[in-house]
Chain A
Amino acid sequence: MLTVATGNKAVAAAVKQACPSVVAAYPITPQTEIVEQIAEYVTSGELRSQYIPVESEHSAMAACIGASVTGARTFTATSSHGLHYMHEMVNWAAGARLPIVMANVNRALGPGWNIWAEHTDAFQERDTGWLQVYVGSVQEAYDATLMAFRIAEHESVLLPVMVNLDGFLLSHSMHPLETVEIGGFIPPLRLPHAIDTAHPMGYGTLTGPDQYFKLRWDIERSMRDSVGVIRETEDEFAKRFGRRYDAVEEYWCDDAEVVVVAMGTLGKEAEVAVDLLRKEGIPAGSMRIRWLRPFPRLDLSGRDVVVIDRDYSFGFGGVIARSLAATEGAKPFSVIAGLGGQEVTYDDIAGFVRSRRPGEEYWFGVMPDV
């Protein structure tokens, strides 16, 4: 069905169709509309879930953990400070191998208070064992949320999945949205370690130095296996519903001599910049990284690379620029732009490409124009 929705409403619509048994969430700008909409669905009977209006995000994730370990499908949503307030439990969810799905509306961290888009909130959770996907449109927010349940609950994965959408730029923007009849796209959850009082087990029992590392390796093994599960799920989604996604969305890359790498809405903005540059005769392309974890491979060989990071790791650099330097041996022109919702247009991005200085870092709006 074709409709018009905000990113938040699109996520809620997908959650309604995935029909989790338990939703526990705490409101935070700019995620609030997701929990309001789900509460509305539950109250009206459109969604038969137990909705737990918890008193904090730490409790939101703790409640999802308690529900999930019984074998129930669970969902929560948060943003920024909320995500960090639940950080301890974010780790716990992955360590406990629970396929919880969470929408995170990317927002900057205070101080000063800033409610606008930035990726640092979720990037700081990148080592927790969660799979993380970043979307570039309202439609993709819906599609990725549906796929997240199937991927998280797959027997080869059994890890939580975080669906990231840019605060306001997507959460509050009205775009066309085509919903689907999901049929059997998300099979029933069968959690092999679900609590069963007929077969009692200890969960999270004290684990010594002779065992703990095996559990960590097991997470990594599933993270590696998730690459294939993601591909298979995205293939199946394309086959059933006609919309195709990849770990990296390439745009005009075949003959590109310079490639812009970005995430979320900046990745979409980069495509407009590529159109502009191509008109000027500059052979540019763009790559929008969708999955931060598992981190994808990018074909950057023989090309100039401009990475736009809407994030920063202090004392180190832009997380994506530094990651690509490590994984692909890239020497990118590393642009730090869009922090705290700073406006970045396709004109700005085209400017980064025209005056790129490989190997250097450039803070947009702080350093003299390139």
Chain B
Amino acid sequence: MTLLDPGMDLTLRPMRYPAFFDRFKDAIKNTWTVEEVDLHTDLADLEKLSPAERHLISRLVAFFATGDTIVANNLVLNLYQHVNSPEGRLYLSRQLFEEAVHVQFYLNLLDTYVPDEAERYEAFAAIENIPSIRRKAEFCFKWIDSIFELRELRTREDRKAFLLNLICFAACIEGLFFYGAFAYVYFLRSRGVLQGLASGTNWVFRDESMHMAFAFDVVEVVRREEPDLFDDEMTRQVTEMLAEAVDCEVQFAEDLLGQGISGLSLGDMREYLQHVADRRLATLGIAPKYGSKNPFAFMELQDVQELSNFFERRVSAYQVGVTGTVGFDEDF
């Protein structure tokens, strides 16, 4: 039996994919709640920002307001159905919970940032009102719809379609749209403003990194089990899909950066997005399309350990779900 064979496997022992179960357990250790994020200093910061910066932020949170819901929908409607492994489905259930927390976080953020009710409604309707966000959403819907009618993955073509959907959500949506957003937040964070947004988003991205890693795990399992699915056509389709995602994200950047932000030029942003797309291709073992380098040194800040001064920020580097019993002879 392979992972994509139709069915509802219920057997956890012996466990066929223990790594999925480990991802599930790790995810639990990262549990955080919206109440832990302190947004009160953000309001003061917002007033200090320039109109150009405020525009960037309002667009960004408008995207966040719907982004995670779209991912959750695809998870329920498409992924859960076809990943036929109880431990894999455990992880997906956990991911679904995390997406819900993210939605709640951005809901709370928007309610706090946008006190005016009419403006708030407009932000939540971003998909209708803001063309640059609409274009990204349409890209997502197209791929959700691509396998929506598939009840079972019987044929080779079915499975390839499923893989494209999975890769789209991992590499393009979580891996590029969210990572693009990540760069904006990190830019602001490196400038010391909007700590509430930054710390909540940091936790969101910690989760998103896991989601992406899990999806790529699934891709690799399928590659091992059914290597013939990964043919030249698939390579071409994935590369094209990423190129389209880059275009969507660049037009979003044109909107966000349209009024000029010092330290975050459109040219650098484009290069960054191309660079991220190349990284996603590399993870899938596909040749890079752009050959672009990362122009943002501030992105390096997220790759190294944090050392919070507890006087200034709440430390986020703790775990939940610690195990063991009292003893006095253990090594430390």
A binds B: no
Which positions in B face A, CB cutoff 8 Å?
none
